[in-house]
Amino acid sequence: MTDPARDIVVMESIDKSFPGVQALKQVSLTLAGGEIHALVGENGAGKSTLIKVLTGVERPDGGTITLDGAEVSIRSPLHAQSLGISTVYQEVNLCPNLTVAENLLIGRQPMKLGHVDWNAMNRQAREILQGLDIEIDVTRPLGSYSIAIQQMAAIARALVISSAKVLVLDEPTSSLTGHETDQLFRVMRKLKGEGIAILFITHFLDQVYEVSDRVTILRNGALVGVYETAVLPRLTLITLMLGRSLTELDDINQHKIESSQHIGTEPLLQADGVGLVGSIAPFDLVLHTGEVVGLAGLLGSGRTEMAQLLFGIDQPTEGSLTMDGKRVRNFSPIGSIERGVALCPEDRKAEGIVADLTVRENIIMAMQASRGWFRHLSTSDQYAIADKYIKLLSIATPSADQPVRNLSGGNQQKVILARWLATNPRLLILDEPTRGIDVGTKADIQKLVLSLAEEGKSCIFISSELEEVLRTSHRVVVMRDRAKVTEFAGEVDERAIMNAIAGGEA
């Protein structure tokens, strides 16, 4: 399997530091042709940085990269591409205004008589996507499709490069559904069969075991080791990644049972037939103090729409919403914040982070918004708040003054969570709060949610991972086709929920 003769990429003793952070210390990585190689580690461990070094986005401070036996110095992403290294980055990097076909083929459009041959281009794009089992209208703008489809388009684009010897995927599955992930894995296995080396970053350990041959583990910017996936026990993998064993999961269940004793009897929030034409069908929902309600459903089932309605991003066209027994009239984010409602949005890049602002400014933003323009938080208060949450959520950053853009994906997610915890909400709506978060922190966040519930706060927990929803929620609401279909309370039967999600009328 790891015959050194077939090693395509050998990275040796790579060092890379940013001001205040040593992101990589003497890290080595080998990729063999025809293997799927997983790269795992906590948030901020240096995974994305390592692949940025491989793909020419960042230049290493030290170390060597050998490609097909010859030492290379990779100057730029374009240069990496010409060497046969294609990449799909953590954040989708395509142009939402261009059509799908243009996004796939830009730079290598088929030409006819000096003009772009649009028909040929659309046909080619359709064929490429069909290779991935995706049937969509390639002449529509990419932005009109879901993040999942956009992600698949980014992968397709990386594959278009015919001479690809190495395919690098940075958390490609974080916003894909189970079915889409299966599609992707099928494509990955096909490419592996063709002798391509695939490097695959993920926080889903199931996927590591499902698809990878070997796994490289990073911790704190250093190499822990390389292992054959098949013979590495899962608990060992977690311990190697985190540097500690993960016992919290059992605690969480206990925690949940205990916290369910404290659920209040008076409703905190009550929705009666609240709906928005064209977005979500009217639904009823009651939420008590100290209660965690999970929203389960497929991508596009209306979970996010419900969250946005409850937070006042959108105004309902029918029904009534009451909080503390008073009818809600001011549907706006600021109105919600004043009522004590917070929403940690799903789309981190567009709706969450303000990339150029510092960690501190990002954390205090919502709190400052609720205080208005003139009751300014003093700088020392701002640092106190930021430092508190950096510690509480173990956000990996050299200081509170780091622009949030420089944080690793998972740590950016934690900053958004901190922004909302800082407003001290009574109802916290979390839309995919653990996307891109490592297993250790994921458990921490789940615990945090339950502790908040014990303090009498309520939470709506949205996640595509049913397991996580079940672990944290006292009650589960199932959404399908932009409508609430049913609710499960008490001891929940996982199979019944899966059926409800999929729409199988059992």
Residues in touch with Mg ion (CB under 5 A): 48, 90, 408-409
Q: Output the smallest distance, CB 409 to ligand ATP, in A.
A: 4
Q: Which does 411 bind (CB under 5 to 8 A by kind): ligand ATP, Mg ion, another protein, none?
A: ligand ATP
Alpha carbon 91 to chain centroid, angstroms: 9
CB 486 within 8 A of CB 306: no
Nearer to Mg ion, 31 or 134 (CB): 31
Smallest CA-to-CA distance from 422 within 351, 350, 342 is with: 342
CB 164 within 8 A of CB 32: no
Give residue number: closest CB to Mg ion: 48
Binding site for ligand ATP (CB under 6 A): 18, 21, 23, 41, 43-49, 90, 396-397, 406-411
Does residue number 419 form part of the binding site for another protein (CB under 8 A)?
yes
- Which tokens go with 146? 């879901």
Of the candidate residues 38, 158, 218, 337, the single one contacting another protein (CB under 8 A): 337
Does residue number 418 form part of the binding site for another protein (CB under 8 A)?
no
Q: Which does 21 bind (CB under 5 to 8 A by kind): Mg ion, ligand ATP, another protein, none?
A: ligand ATP
Of the candidate residues 352, 410, 425, 436, the single one contacting another protein (CB under 8 A): 352
Within 33-171, strands assigned E span 36-40, 62-67, 70-72, 85-88, 111-112, 115-116, 166-170
CB 501 within 8 A of CB 318: no
Give residue number: closest CB to ligand ATP: 410
Between CA 222 and CA 228 the distance in angstroms is 19
Burial class (CB in 10 A: 0-12, 13-18, 19+), 199: buried
CB 346 within 8 A of CB 299: no
Nearer to another protein, 181 or 358 (CB): 358
Residue-by-residue DSSP string for 275-312:
EETTTEEEEEEEEETT-EEEEE--TTSSHHHHHHHHHT
- Per-residue binder mask for another protein (CB under 8 A), 277-316, x = binder: ------------------------------------x---
Cross-strand partners of 271: 285, 321
Nearer to Mg ion, 136 or 147 (CB): 147
Does residue number 343 form part of the binding site for another protein (CB under 8 A)?
yes
- Per-residue binder mask for another protein (CB under 8 A), 313-332, x = binder: x-------------------
Q: Which does 373 bind (CB under 5 to 8 A by kind): ligand ATP, another protein, Mg ion, none?
A: another protein
Q: Percent helix, strand, coil in the chain (nearest 5)?
A: 40, 25, 35
Between CA 25 and CA 371 the distance in angstroms is 43
Q: Which does 302 bind (CB under 5 to 8 A by kind): another protein, Mg ion, ligand ATP, none?
A: none
Nearer to another protein, 96 or 264 (CB): 96
Pairing of strands 62-67, 7-18: antiparallel
Nearer to ligand ATP, 102 or 438 (CB): 438
- The SS3 of residue 341 is strand
Q: Which does 353 bind (CB under 5 to 8 A by kind): another protein, Mg ion, ligand ATP, none?
A: another protein
Q: Which does 355 bind (CB under 5 to 8 A by kind): another protein, Mg ion, ligand ATP, none?
A: another protein
Binding segment for another protein (CB under 8 A), chosen from 110-118, 254-262, 366-374, 440-448, is 366-374
User: H-helix or E-strand containing 222?
Assistant: strand 222-228
Q: Which amino acid is at 7?
A: D
Nearer to another protein, 116 or 357 (CB): 357
Which residues of the shown chain bind another protein in the complex (CB under 8 A)?
A: 18-19, 313, 333-334, 336-337, 343, 345, 350-357, 361, 365-366, 368-377, 419
